[in-house]
Amino acid sequence: MTLSRRKLLQTVAAFPLAATLPRMAKAELSFGDATLTTVSDGNLILPAEFIFEPMPQAELAPILAELGVSSERLTPECNLALYRDGTNTVLFDVGSGPNFAPTAGTIVDSLDAAGLAPEDVTHVLFTHAHPDHIWGLLDDFDEPLFYAATHMMGRAEWDYWWNPETVNSIGEARAAFAAGAKRRMEAIEDAVEFFDDGDEVLPGISAVASAGHTPGHMAFEVRNGSNSALIVGDAIGNHHVAFRKPEWISGSDQDGALGVTSRQMLLDRLVAEQMAVIGFHLPNGGIGPTRRSSDLFWRVRISLTSTRVHRFIPNLLRLFRTSGPP
């Protein structure tokens, strides 16, 4: 199944209102003399087949039942990583903005709850250019929201979405995604900085190529002294099947087979180096440890014992914003 914005909004409309209320969550990881936090951009409401359609359904059903995951609709959180080391304030991705999904786009309110304004952000690092990660780049006047920040993107990811042929080759359902990405990239065209796999993008932050979800998807390894974490973006896109069956192709990945390779590589790295994982769509703020269980299945435990989580209910009027252009 391909997911268009129209399909996304139809799914939201069919879902009970109480389940669509975006919440501003904050989880914080102890990270030496720096802080590594997640701030919420709300959540998405997706038809489950968007993820599960290519998977073996007979094997999938008992896994979903065991983990209490719906086979009809998914409501993944949108968690943006925020790293502060006393010099830099680094935001990973910028969220959906007001024009993608009515349950997302809460990043400004979430930053405010964390004591920050958009102008306090010194750097924006993109994992990839899907709508829930880049459409929040522009403010209500079509100017960069994080105007004081240096914007940075992997070279391969930029080249893919900047290519005028992408809007024609990506498929009709995702053409609006490509058009929307290009419009926002144009706003930073003259100032964006590029990086490649393995580059130290900023002190303590290195790029990790993890293509598959998109052609140039990047994860980021963050280190400060003995502390380390891996910001995985959407390369590990959920807390259930991605960990239990990482070898299964996900319907959300543009290149399913390459997505499997990247997912398994990141999981191996997380456990081998005993790193915390920070996932854009993982639950409870998206920060936690990973481990490999004795039956060799991957499992994730998003633990709040070492994090502080704050939840707020935003103004209900945010649910009724008028949709604009892509």
322 inside domain:
no
324 inside domain:
no
What is the span of the domain harbouring residue 94? Answer: 5-304
Query: Residue 59 above 90 pLDDT?
Result: yes
Query: Residue 289 above 90 pLDDT?
Result: no
316 inside domain:
no
Total domain count, the chain = 1
**Residue of 230, 282, 285 whose CA lies nearest to 113:** 285
pLDDT in tens, 257-271: 999 999 999 999 999
Interatomic CA distance for residues 225 and 223, integer angstroms:
6
Return mean pLDDT, the chain.
86
320 inside domain:
no
CB within 8 A of 298, min separation 6: which ones?
243, 244, 246, 267, 290, 292
pLDDT in tens, 132-151: 999 999 999 999 999 999 99
In this prediction, residue 2 carries a pLDDT of 54
CA angle 22, 23, 26 (to 5 degrees): 145
In this prediction, residue 297 carries a pLDDT of 42
CA angle 81, 230, 202 (to 5 degrees): 70
Interatomic CA distance for residues 170 and 10, integer angstroms:
22
Neighbours of 62 (CB within 10 A): 9
Q: What percent of the chain has pLDDT over 90?
A: 78
Higher pLDDT among residues 61 and 13, named by residue: 61
15 inside domain:
yes
pLDDT in tens, 223-238: 999 999 999 999 999 9
- Based on the number of CB atoms within 10 Å of its own CB, is 58 exposed (0-12), middle (13-18) or buried (19 or more)? exposed
In this prediction, residue 1 carries a pLDDT of 54
**Residue of 40, 109, 108, 112 whose CA lies nearest to 76:** 40
For the chain, the straight-line distance linking the first and the last C-alpha, in angstroms and rounded, comes to: 21
58 inside domain:
yes
Residue 263 parent element (H or E): helix 256-272
**Residue of 270, 271, 263 whose CA lies nearest to 243:** 263
pLDDT in tens, 296-319: 344 444 443 333 322 222 222 222
Q: What is the pTM of this model?
A: 0.86
Higher pLDDT among residues 293 and 111, named by residue: 111
Give the residue carrying structure tokens 């398994």.
Answer: 264
Query: Residue 67 above 60 pLDDT?
Result: yes
In this prediction, residue 234 carries a pLDDT of 98
**Residue of 114, 46, 130 whose CA lies nearest to 81:** 114
pLDDT in tens, 93-105: 999 999 899 999 9
In this prediction, residue 296 carries a pLDDT of 37
79 inside domain:
yes
pLDDT band at residue 276 using 50, 70 and 90 as cut-offs: very high
Q: Within 13 A of 19's CA, how many CA atoms are on the CB side?
A: 13
In order, the DSSP letters of 170-189 are S-GGGHHHHHHHHHHHHTTT
- Based on the number of CB atoms within 10 Å of its own CB, is 49 exposed (0-12), middle (13-18) or buried (19 or more)? middle
Query: Residue 215 above 90 pLDDT?
Result: yes
The CATH number for 199's domain is 3.60.15.10
Query: Residue 37 above 50 pLDDT?
Result: yes
pLDDT band at residue 30 using 50, 70 and 90 as cut-offs: confident
